[in-house]
Copies of this chain bind each other. A is one copy, B any other.
């Protein structure tokens, strides 16, 4: 592949001059400019960004760590992040931790070695120490790993409240809440707090089921829901902590001969596209995924520029009423 030297040679000028026309810096005569451009596309020249990065100490690459892009929430988030990153001239390095702490740590080290300009963590392993040594800007989703690391989340308590209030107001008398692993110190746990509060205030019967969120195991979700409906046939409301779980709840209800929303009402969480693939469409709590992505890139690029940013970034949620509750 052609280098700046080849271009200089062909154009009969020095590399400095070539560099100048590329970057539009300093004065250059029209004549040289034309010569250089001619040489450049004659050679199909593309400047080597690696060399530039080395010199500039900036890679213009952002690392994104998620449990798995195959999960709709993260795939939509990744999509928005890429969108805004591109607008600001950043590239996105995709890392799936598969919720494996070893892989996650490994990826963090890789990102450090590759001198990425910033890291976005959508993954939840507990190893906090690894971030300590981290010099580059970092932000997390839905997790406060340290006092000084900015995080993005939505108003989880409000989301939980909205969902539960809806279920109660629609007449549910026994509500199941299916949530992730509460041991993991996620901000998403506030949804469960709200669920407890609302349900107790209204004196509504309820139960809380923790899924082992360490794996996105569809078969497990299915089994869990099935068992739940068998063990508690009188459940008339389900508040799931993701639309995917909500979808399985819907499917298992119908399989069990229960009508939704007549017999059982269901509310999901996230409002991913898939919520509208179901019939009836899923009532859910909408997280502003687009805003998440936009803010993530913004927080990082501001830090790159040396600005300080807000640590707590909680975005509003919204109850989206559709066909299941």
CB distance from A115 to the nearest CB of B (A): 6
Evaluate contact between A113 and B46: CB separation under 8 angstroms.
Answer: yes
Evaluate contact between A82 and B54: CB separation under 8 angstroms.
Answer: no
Considering only CB atoms, which chain B residue lies closest to A279 in the complex?
B251
Evaluate contact between A70 and B79: CB separation under 8 angstroms.
Answer: yes
Considering only CB atoms, which chain B residue lies closest to A63 in the complex?
B91
Evaluate contact between A93 and B94: CB separation under 8 angstroms.
Answer: yes
Stretch among A152-160, A201-209, A270-278 lining the B interface? A270-278
Considering only CB atoms, which chain B residue lies closest to A75 in the complex?
B75
Asked if A231 is at the interface (CB within 8 A of a chain B CB), the reply is: no
- Enumerate chain B residues within 8 angstroms of A76, measured Cβ to Cβ: 70
Indicate how many identical chains form the complex.
2
Asked if A25 is at the interface (CB within 8 A of a chain B CB), the reply is: no
- Enumerate chain B residues within 8 angstroms of A114, measured Cβ to Cβ: 49-50, 91
Evaluate contact between A248 and B273: CB separation under 8 angstroms.
Answer: no
Interface members, chain A 238-276 (any B CB < 8 Å): 244, 247-248, 250-251, 254-255, 273-274, 276
Give the distance in Å from the alpha carbon of A16 to the alpha carbon of B214 in the complex.
Answer: 44
Evaluate contact between B109 and A82: CB separation under 8 angstroms.
Answer: no
Say which residue of B49, B53, B79, B254 sits within 8 Å of A96 (CB atoms): B79
Evaluate contact between A94 and B82: CB separation under 8 angstroms.
Answer: yes
Say which residue of B75, B110, B112 sits within 8 Å of A91 (CB atoms): B110
Evaluate contact between A278 and B276: CB separation under 8 angstroms.
Answer: no
Say which residue of B70, B94, B115, B279 sits within 8 Å of A94 (CB atoms): B94
Asked if A182 is at the interface (CB within 8 A of a chain B CB), the reply is: no
Interface members, chain A 122-166 (any B CB < 8 Å): 133, 135
- Enumerate chain B residues within 8 angstroms of A53, measured Cβ to Cβ: 50
CB distance from A107 to the nearest CB of B (A): 8
- Enumerate chain B residues within 8 angstroms of A48, measured Cβ to Cβ: 54, 113, 115
Say which residue of B61, B92, B133, B281 sits within 8 Å of A251 (CB atoms): B281
Asked if A47 is at the interface (CB within 8 A of a chain B CB), the reply is: yes
Considering only CB atoms, which chain B residue lies closest to A254 in the complex?
B279
Interface members, chain A 49-82 (any B CB < 8 Å): 49-51, 53-54, 59, 61, 64, 68-70, 72, 75-76, 78-79, 82
Asked if A1 is at the interface (CB within 8 A of a chain B CB), the reply is: yes
Which of A70, A79, A115, A255 has the largest number of chain B CB atoms within 10 A? A70
Give the distance in Å from the alpha carbon of A251 to the alpha carbon of B273 in the complex.
Answer: 14
Q: A residues near B, CB below 8 A?
A: 1, 44, 46-51, 53-54, 59, 61, 64, 68-70, 72, 75-76, 78-79, 82-83, 86, 91-96, 98, 103, 109-110, 112-115, 133, 135, 218, 244, 247-248, 250-251, 254-255, 273-274, 276-279, 281
Enumerate the 3 nearest inter-chain pairs by beta-carbon distance, A residue then B residue, closest first.
A75-B75, A70-B79, A247-B277
